[in-house]
Structures are given as structure tokens and as C-alpha cells.
Structure 1
Amino acid sequence: MIISIRKIGSLIRFISMFAVLAMFFYFVLGWVSDWLTPMDPYSAPSGQAVKAFQPESTMDSRYSPAERLRLYYWYGE
């Protein structure tokens, strides 16, 4: 069996270039993802927009959990 130094060098160069380009694309896609994602998607809207869901605390809720479950099944949502 003949081992060619030129083929081994070519293989090492290919693997190293593949790894460098894979890391480059990984970081570029991460940067694009951070750029496209809003800063805080759960923040209160600005202007005249209204937030559709306001979480209620369980202490001052006007419906008990059983009543909320009954309403859930009643409305079929």
C-alpha cells in the first residue's frame, strides 16, 4: 500500500477549509438570526396598540380555576 503525502495534504487542507467555512456560516447565520429577532417580544406595545393577553394573578382573579375550566369547555375554545 502506497501512502501519498500529496493526497494526505490535500485531504487535510479540504477538511480544514470545510471546518473554517462551516464555522463562518454558523456565526453569520447566528448574527442574522439575532438581527431579525425582536429585542423583547413580550414587552408592552408602544403607541395606541393594546396587548391582547394580560396575565392575571391567582389571588385577585374573579374566576376560580373550576369556573375558568367550565367556561373553557362552554365556549369550546
Structure 2
Amino acid sequence: MIISLRRWVEWGKFFLLFFLLTLLFYQVIAFFGLLLEPKPRYREPSGRAVKVFAQQMIPRPSEEMGVKERLFLFYWLGE
């Protein structure tokens, strides 16, 4: 079996080019992935915006509550 140095150099160039283009493609995809990433929905308001919420009195489940009241509280809070 004759091993040609020219063939090994061609294969080396091919693998080097393949490796470099793969890295470049990965970096391009990562860059566009960061650009297309959605903004956080629950970020803190900026500027003159104020986050407003109404604090309501939520009854605490206790030993004295019946099944009906606890079920109503469960559906009301959604937990």
C-alpha cells in the first residue's frame, strides 16, 4: 500500500476547512439565537412606570374550615 503525502495534505486541508466552517456556522447560529431571544416578561418596570397591585385579604385555610370552604378557596386561588 502506497501512502501518498499529497493525498494526506488534501485530506488535512479538507478537515481543517470543515472544522473552521463548522465553528463559524455555530457562532453565527449562537449570535442570531441571542438576537431572537424573547425579552423577560416579568422584568422590573423602568422609567416612570410603577407596578401596581391590589392586596386583598385572603382567608387562611385552617382546621375550622369545612370541605366546601376549602374547595371554594382552592378554586378561587387556583392552587
Shared fold (TM-score greater than 0.5)? yes
Aligned equivalent of 2:21: 21
Residue 20 (structure 1) shift = 0.2
Residue 62 and residue 6 in structure 1: after superposition, are their counterparts in 2 closer, same or farther (change >3 A)?
farther
- Structure number with greater Rg is 2
Residue 40 (structure 1) shift = 2.1
Residue 41 and residue 3 in structure 1: after superposition, are their counterparts in 2 closer, same or farther (change >3 A)?
farther
Alignment root-mean-square deviation, CA: 3.2
Q: Kindly report structure 1 stretches of 4+ aligned residues shifted beyond 6 Å.
A: none
TM-score by length of 1: 0.56
Higher relative contact order (CA 8 A, sep 6+): 2
Aligned residues: 58
What are structure 2's unaligned runs of at least 5 residues? 47-56, 62-69
